[in-house]
Structure 1
């Protein structure tokens, strides 16, 4: 089925593209379902589970991931601004140093 796209107007071409993308999505879902069924059949035949085959699947993140560090410095102009002392210095911290403050002046007591 060859479609001569040179003879299509803008609306017809847009409609054809939408239909083609929809069909592409359907084919992708069908292929994924077929592969999933094949994998499940193999796992059942061998008597194992997916977790047996891939034990690290869904494993917990490293211990450090997502941990928060207590604030070490506080902005005297706006107490809501704090910094743990890790990573890039915040703008308020650099501005305070330029204004003559010392790091020890910004420490949280």
Structure 2
């Protein structure tokens, strides 16, 4: 579809913009409904009564127990997983050993 936008008036351009925005929103809504329907079908095929039941059945993510504690502020802890917190980085840069913070 080739439209010479240069030959259209501002009113015509705004109308095209308005209609295309509505069409895009409509398209996205349909796609979301289709995706939700597919997810519901998958949940039912897996033996769940609903999509919500399937999502609720996910095991809760367990929080890792802390392995390290700040020497001066015991509320600051780190499990040893993921990025090192700033206080650990600072201490290591200052020459301290990670073992000094072990719980």
TM-score, length-normalised on structure 1? 0.53
Q: Which structure would you say has the larger Rg?
A: 1
- Structure 2 match to 1:71: 66
Residue of structure 2 equivalent to 1:23: 23
Query: Any idea what SS the aligned residue of 1:94 has?
Result: helix
Residue 54 of structure 1 corresponds to which residue in structure 2? 45
The alpha carbon displacement at 1:78 in A equals 4.1
**Closer, same or farther: CA 91–55 of 1 in aligned 2, 3 Å:** same
How many residue pairs match? The answer is 92
Q: Does 1:99 align with 2:82?
A: no
User: How has the CA–CA distance of structure 1 residues 10 and 53 changed in structure 2, closer, same or farther, with 3 Å as cutoff?
Assistant: same
The root-mean-square deviation of aligned C-alpha atoms, in Å, is 3.8
Q: Where do 5+ consecutive residues of structure 2 fail to align? A: none
